[in-house]
Amino acid sequence: MSNLKVAIQKSGRLSEDSLKLFKECGIKVNNGARKLKASASNFPIEFLFLRDDDIPGYVEDGIADIGIVGENVQQEAQKNTRVLKKLGFSKCRLSLAIPRSEEYPGIEYFNGKSIATSYPYILKSYLKEKKVNAEIHEISGSVEIAPGIGLAEGICDIVSSGSTLLSNGLVEVEEVMRSEAVLIGGDKLDDGQKKLLDQLVFRMDAVLVGKNNKYVLLNAPDESLDKIIDLLPGMRSPTVLPLAEKGWHSIHSVINEDDFWGSIEKLRAAGAEGILVVPIEKMIQ
């Protein structure tokens, strides 16, 4: 029987959310102690816990069939892997930063300068595209201290809240790429494994789409019904149920998280009352 091997980060920023996603997909991971390997009791899947930098290589070689890494790691690794799905967590950006005291005229600032980074491949491609000639210093950690110790004039590193840059006297000047956790896959899957992967991606979709939508229940006076129904597309169309009180209906629908507050304001302006918003655990379209 087929078995899908998935590589996830052993310990780091992606570990907890990666395991949580499998749990939300109904996959129970045995072996909480997190050794090198674990299996699941109710899905033919095996987990390998690895350093994130090693995951693209293992997926390319078929040691793991799929893996979860940051897009930044997938791109930098230049291994034969594909992004199968964006997973919506561990969002960050890879940016260029320089000392706060410097004037920044634009990207040409970096001509003839040195830049420290752990992402030489991505940075090199970016500089080439921007026609900038800079020297790249590859270092593996604590990139943010490089300008302070005179190792480089600028850095290219992951930024999330920006507080690391701030506390090192640096300022972000260019965004090189945006990144989030992604599911990656190689090309060595047999038919049975492809089928398992389809099942897994179907479940992940249901979880991710659910997170991106809310279930909304509201009351509407009959004269506002049509207007409110127009505002609420729902999965097919909203559910409309009469209230015990004459002249009123309850409307149930699904709205997207992206313009959540905008939608709520429009509904209130159209006469909606008693609006309840409920999270959706899974949504299958």
Which lies closer to ligand PRT via its Cβ, residue 43 or residue 89? 89
Torsion sign over Cα 260, 266, 270, 274: positive
Our CB check for ligand PRT shows the closer of 170 and 272 to be 170
Q: In terms of DSSP bridges, do strands 82-86 and 45-50 run parallel, antiparallel, or are they unpaired?
A: unpaired
Closest CA to 95 of 168, 178, 166, 12: 178
Could you tell me the CA-to-CA distances from 220 to 178, 257, 259, 273, 277 in Å, in that order?
42, 22, 21, 6, 15
Instruction: Name which of ligand PRT, Zn ion, none residue 92 binds, using a CB cut-off of 5 to 8 Å depending on partner kind.
Output: ligand PRT
Beta carbon nearer to Zn ion, 87 or 270? 87
Give the integer Cα–Cα distance in Å for 170 and 163: 10
Q: Is the CB of 75 or the CB of 263 nearer to ligand PRT?
A: 75
Positions touching ligand PRT (CB under 6 A) are 9, 12-14, 51-53, 70, 72-73, 90, 92, 144, 157-164, 179
When CB distances to ligand PRT are compared, the closest residue is: 70
Minimum Å distance from CB 76 to Zn ion? 10
Q: In whole angstroms, how close is the CB of 86 to ligand PRT at the nearest point?
A: 12
147 close to 85: Cβ distance less than 8 angstroms: no
In the complex with ligand PRT, the residue whose CB is nearer, 144 or 153, is: 144
Q: Which of 17, 53, 102, 180 binds Zn ion (CB under 5 A)?
A: 53
Cβ of residue 45: shortest distance to ligand PRT, in angstroms? 20
Tell me whether residue 21 is exposed, middle or buried, using C-beta atoms within 10 angstroms of its C-beta: 0 to 12, 13 to 18, 19 or more: buried
Q: Choose from ligand PRT, Zn ion, none: what does 199 bind? Cβ within 5-8 Å by kind.
A: none
Which listed residue (8, 25, 49, 52) binds Zn ion by CB under 5 A? 52
Asked if 243 and 250 touch (Cβ cutoff 8 Å), the reply is: yes
Residue in the structure block whose two tokens are 């919506």: 88
Count of residues of this chain found to bind Zn ion when the rule CB under 5 A is applied: 2
CA distance 73 to 118: 10
Amino acid type, 23: K
| Piece of the chain touching Zn ion by CB under 5 A; list 53-61, 79-87, 160-168, 196-204 | 53-61
Report whether 74 contacts 119 (CB < 8 A).
Answer: no
Q: Among ligand PRT, Zn ion, none, what binds residue 162 when CB lies within 5 to 8 Å by partner kind? A: ligand PRT
Task: Name the site residues for Zn ion (rule: CB under 5 A).
Answer: 52-53
